[in-house]
Amino acid sequence: MLDVDLLSAAEGEIVEFDKVLLVSDGENTLVGSPTVAGAKIVATSKGMVKGKKIVVFRYKNKTRHRKKNGFRAQYTRLTIDRVVMPGE
């Protein structure tokens, strides 16, 4: 499983990434300049998840000013189904 920035993909939807920078099958490695032509990644969306909470605390001394905020980033969880090599 892989968490990426929030995508507009529903749960169970298939997502394809065609801008692949590096592909390897164990023996051969292809490095793109800037991308590998013909390679793509096919993944399935498992829905939205929230990341770890980040606490933001602002403080000004001598004035009793304190402000505490929290933030949780939203991610899309993906399962990689297959990697399509160039020429397949």
The predicted model scores a pTM of: 0.76
For residue 70, which of 49, 58, 56 has the smallest C-alpha distance? 56
For residue 75, which of 48, 55, 56 has the smallest C-alpha distance? 48
Q: Is 39 helix (H, G, I), strand (E, B) or coil?
A: coil
Q: Do strands 54-60 and 65-71 pair parallel, antiparallel, or not at all (unpaired)?
A: antiparallel
88 or 65: whose pLDDT is higher?
65
Q: Cα–Cα distance between 53 and 85 in angstroms, integer?
A: 38
Predicted local distance difference test score (pLDDT) of residue 13: 96
Average pLDDT score, the chain? 93
Asked if residue 40 lies in contact with residue 17, where contact means CB atoms within 8 angstroms, the answer is yes
User: How do residues 50-87 score in pLDDT, each as one tens digit?
Assistant: 999 999 999 999 999 999 999 999 999 999 999 998 88
